[in-house]
């Protein structure tokens, strides 16, 4: 199983992208509960031990990375299996989507553990992104910075710098998905994404609003609006 990661800034169209991907019979979107993130600390700790004892022992480093990759993959598939059991998608899932936006900071770790993983980066006009973040008043723990304009702009600037870094050191590793283009021409953009996932096209992707998927983010209203319009 090749995992799919969606990264980016809040209010950049990530929920729409994941919902459309999840409409494909062979794709399952985990939602906001990332499997990869909770495993990062353990991976770091083990790598530090190995590198501290034998800094040139690449075989041991590879063994640690492969072990964690296998554990993460198994957990992803277990979640997908449990959530699709008894549905037409049971036993058909080939790609599991882990959407933790702030994983843009961990693209290096994603590449290390899953060199073949698909990393999708949702992008949106900067002013629209910043205004939408500020307007929606994210007061969750750890997101208080979004309530202050200056702090929000600082974090956004840092995010752009980090993405520029990874585009430089890992060229073509991340596929940008424009929110504006996705809304304007969903079939064209999603065909490109599905091709990257090495799956066959399925028209259900464009009928994502017909699924029973529950959206629990600030994008709930937009997704529900799409449903009511159709």
117: left (phi over 0), alpha (psi -120 to 50) or beta: beta
Mean pLDDT of 43-59: 90
- Asked, for residue 24, whether it belongs to a domain, the answer is yes
Per-residue pLDDT tens digits for 150-172: 999 999 999 999 999 999 999 99
Query: Of the given ranges (54-58, 95-99, 124-128, 145-149), which has the lowest mean pLDDT?
Result: 54-58
pTM for the full model? 0.89
At residue 56, the pLDDT reads 80
Is the model's pLDDT at 218 over the cut of 70? no
Quick check: 226 pLDDT over 50?
Answer: no
Residue 119 belongs to some domain of the structure: yes
The pLDDT tens digits for 97-118 are 999 999 999 999 999 999 999 9
- The answer to whether residue 220 sits within a structural domain is no
**What is the pLDDT, as a whole number, of residue 215?**
56
Residue 227 within any structural domain of the chain: no
Q: Which DSSP string corresponds to 188-214?
A: HHHHHHHHHTT----GGGGGGGGS-PP
With a cut of 80, say whether residue 219 has pLDDT above it.
no
Number of Cβ atoms within 10 Å of the Cβ of 83: 16
Tokens for 10, please give them. Answer: 């809040």
Domain count, the chain: 1
Token output for 162: 């980090």
Asked if residue 171 is part of any domain, the answer here is yes
Q: Is residue 228 part of a domain?
A: no
- 100 in any annotated domain: yes
Question: Is 230 inside any structural domain?
Answer: no
Q: Could you list the residue range(s) of the whole structural domain that residue 186 is in?
A: 4-33+94-211
pLDDT digits (tens, 9 = 90+) for 6-45: 999 999 999 999 999 999 999 999 988 899 999 999 999 9
CATH number at residue 198: 3.40.50.300
The pLDDT tens digits of the residues spanning 118-146 come to 999 999 999 999 999 999 888 777 889 99
> What tokens does 189 get?
């953009």
Average pLDDT score, the chain = 91
Which DSSP letter does residue 83 get? H
- pLDDT of 183 strictly over 70: yes
């Amino acid at each position: 199983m090749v995992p799919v990661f969606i990264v980016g800034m809040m209010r950049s169209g990530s929920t729409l992208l994941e919902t459309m991907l999840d409409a494909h019979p062979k794709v399952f979107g985990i939602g906001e509960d990332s499997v990869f993130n909770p495993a990062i600390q353990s991976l770091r700790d083990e790598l530090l031990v190995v590198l501290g004892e034998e800094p040139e022992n690449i075989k041991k480093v590879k063994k640690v990375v492969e072990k964690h990759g296998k554990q993460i993959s198994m957990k992803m598939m277990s979640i997908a299996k449990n959530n699709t059991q008894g549905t037409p998608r049971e036993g058909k899932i080939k790609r599991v989507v882990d959407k933790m936006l702030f994983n843009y900071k961990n693209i290096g770790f994603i590449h290390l553990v899953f060199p073949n993983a698909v990393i999708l980066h949702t992008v949106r006009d900067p002013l629209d992104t910043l205004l939408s973040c500020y307007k929606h008043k994210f007061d969750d723990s750890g997101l208080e910075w979004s309530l202050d304009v200056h702090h929000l702009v600082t974090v956004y600037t840092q995010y752009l710098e980090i993405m520029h870094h990874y585009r430089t050191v890992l060229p073509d590793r991340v596929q940008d998905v424009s929110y504006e283009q996705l809304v304007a021409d969903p079939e064209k953009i999603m065909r490109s994404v599905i091709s990257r996932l090495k799956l066959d096209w399925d028209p259900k992707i464009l009928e994502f609003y017909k699924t029973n998927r529950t959206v629990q983010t600030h994008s709930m209203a937009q997704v529900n609006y799409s449903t009511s319009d159709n």
